[in-house]
Amino acid sequence: MKKKVGIIGSGIAGLSSAVRMAARGYEVHVFEANGYPGGKLCEISIGNYRFDAGPSLFTMPEYFEDLFATVGKKFSDYCPYQKLDPITHYFYEDGTRYKTHASAEKSADEMAVQLNGNKKDILHHFENSKKLYELTAETFLHQSIHHYENFSFIDLMKISANLKTLNLFTTMHDINHKKFKDAKLVQYFDRFATYNGSNPYEAPGTLNVIPHLEHNVGAFFPKGGMVSISRSVYNLAVELGVHFHFNTKVNEIKVEKKKVIGLSFNEVKREDNKHIDVAKSEFLPVDLVISNMDVAYTYRKLLPNEKHPEKTLNQPRALSAMVFYLGIKKEFPELGLHNIFFSKDYKHEFDRFFKQQSLAEDLTIYINISSKYEKDDAPKGCENWFVMINTPPHTGQDWDTLIKNARKNIIAKLSRILNEDIESLIEVEDILEPRIIETRNLSWQGSLYGNSSNNKFAAFLRHSNFSSKIKGLYFCGGSVHPGGGIPLSVLSAKIVDDLIPKK
Ligand SMILES: Cc1cc2nc3c(=O)[nH]c(=O)nc-3n(C[C@H](O)[C@H](O)[C@H](O)COP(=O)(O)OP(=O)(O)OC[C@H]3O[C@@H](n4cnc5c(N)ncnc54)[C@H](O)[C@@H]3O)c2cc1C
């Protein structure tokens, strides 16, 4: 008889785990509280506009190629994607504008001219970022760091010989500030801290590894939009015979003698983004459980009788977000797929997030417009604007007031910089905000990426991909090692696969 695994959640890591476990011959059951796969990686439609609802930047497709290769398939056959050039359009209130490109040389050329930088220094920064990746990826990203036998003597020697390059003891901002004279260039490189929801003024310089992904490897666009990524992994899982239980919420992981024995679950319906039970609880005996639910909620909601690793669960959370989905009845040729409108005072913006748990008036705004590539995402002559700002995680703020003020400030800033009355161009509108992110995806405090990396020990303070107390319990997804974002979430599924004994 086949061994059974129950996977809680069909986020991108849950789907990836489903593929890997089916490939190993397990009978796989995925329980998903929502009515669709993908978790945060999903889409919404408003009138004649389609929007990718969550992630919009796709990096490291090689991790998906690796996933599909485990069953002899090619990711690009299921989800064709293209390399972006240009990558992002940048805008400042003082009129400065530039674009980044697929070629690091070309980006450095343009940035050097527009930001009074030195091309050699910029290229050196990209190169350094690559070095950091090569130094850390194998040891800290591609395997569990909670199994000490995974650390080879050679790895440790290599890392200790390169401690200076790792910049663990200096903040990302301090490194960037020391390297570049122009404040806008510093701001440019500091922004990469937000790629995992962290604060560049606190996070260690090691996070300067992030530009490597975009500048040396590239940014990509999947045909059909970001949702094609989760759909393609879901389709593969279905082909492999995975059983999906949608609108079904797991309410307890049953444990006996410190070993997982099964899952109890309920059929639910979603009302006001909350999941409401509509049927009696059922039970499925399983041999293994992989939780793709936020690890804090996995313990607090599904394992009420077990001892919780409070120190790990209570680490400060990464940033959350507000997204205004706007149907805009005009086309803007100066905008591209990814656009950033920087704030004037970045330090103040991050102090407001992390010290006051609030928002500055002048905010850095990101706009994603998938209709630049997928014409059907908006009516002719129109564009689908995904307008996002970062916010602190949800700790009980007066969000209604914050949203009202942020919306007003965003529209005013975009109208100023684009020299257009944006309010009058809005045809349809919807919003995603921290409270919704929390209840819709069951992500504690609505954090986009689990714990923040605002601390040099953050990598070790993230929960491991297995329970050391309960046999048969594993964890994947953005709230556990190696961290948040699509690429790392997919890697977490590989790590779980490696941890589950092959016999
Ligand atoms: C607005 C926004 C923008 C982002 N931008 C980017 C970006 O540009 N690039 C990038 O790489 N990343 C980005 N991210 C982060 C990225 O989306 C996440 O890190 C990643 O998708 C997390 O995937 P996951 O596997 O952890 O699961 P999640 O997407 O968190 O999904 C977990 C799933 O589990 C289900 N679930 C939870 N508990 C239960 C239960 N008890 N029973 C049944 N089901 C349950 C939930 O319903 C959910 O579907 C963004 C996120 C957001 C919200």
SS3 labels along 171-238: EHHHHHHHHCCCHHHHHHHHHHHHHHCCCCCCCEHHHHHHHHHHHHHCCEEECCCCHHHHHHHHHHHH
Q: What pLDDT score was predicted for residue 145?
A: 81
Q: What pLDDT score was predicted for residue 342?
A: 98
CA of 56 to the centre of ligand 1 (A): 12
The span from the CA of 339 to the CA of 365, in Å, is: 8
The span from the CA of 264 to the CA of 254, in Å, is: 7
Ramachandran class of 6: left when φ > 0, alpha when ψ lies in -120 to 50, beta otherwise: beta
Q: What pLDDT score was predicted for residue 156?
A: 74
- Categorize the per-residue pLDDT at 165 as very low, low, confident or very high, splitting at 50, 70 and 90: confident
Encoding tokens for residue 294?
A: 């936020």
Residue with tokens 């899952």: 263
* DSSP string for 35-52: SSSBTTS-EEEETTEEEE
Domain 4-41+58-81+225-312+454-499: what homologous superfamily? FAD/NAD(P)-binding domain (3.50.50.60)
Q: Pick from 235, 296, 209: which is nearest to 478 by CA?
A: 296
Phi–psi pair at 331, nearest 5 degrees: -105, 145
Cβ-based neighbours of 256, under 8 Å, separated by 6 or more: none
Encoding tokens for residue 340?
A: 């950033």
Q: Of the residues 436, 448, 453, which should be mutated to test ligand 1's pocket, given the most ligand atoms within 8 Å of the CB?
A: 448
Domain spans of the chain, in order of start: 4-41+58-81+225-312+454-499, 121-217
- Categorize the per-residue pLDDT at 160 as very low, low, confident or very high, splitting at 50, 70 and 90: confident
The span from the CA of 268 to the CA of 419, in Å, is: 47
The span from the CA of 465 to the CA of 315, in Å, is: 17
Q: Which amino acid is at 368?
A: N
Does residue 461 carry a pLDDT above 90? no
Question: In this predicted model, what pLDDT tens digit does every residue of 263-316 receive, in sequence order?
Answer: 999 999 999 888 999 989 999 999 999 999 999 999 999 999 999 999 999 999
CA of 158 to the centre of ligand 1 (A): 34
Q: What pLDDT score was predicted for residue 152?
A: 72
| Mean pLDDT score, 328-353 | 98
Protein residues whose CB sits closer than 6 Å to any atom of ligand 1:
8-14, 31-34, 39-41, 54-57, 249-250, 292-293, 321, 323, 437, 441-443, 448-449, 477-478, 484-486, 489
The span from the CA of 214 to the CA of 40, in Å, is: 21
Question: In this predicted model, what pLDDT tens digit does every residue of 174-218 receive, in sequence order?
Answer: 999 999 989 999 999 999 999 999 999 999 999 999 999 999 999
The span from the CA of 370 to the CA of 72, in Å, is: 31
The residue whose CA has the least distance to atom 42 of ligand 1 is 249
Contact 40, 195 (CB under 8 A): no
Does residue 467 carry a pLDDT above 90? yes
CA of 272 to the centre of ligand 1 (A): 18
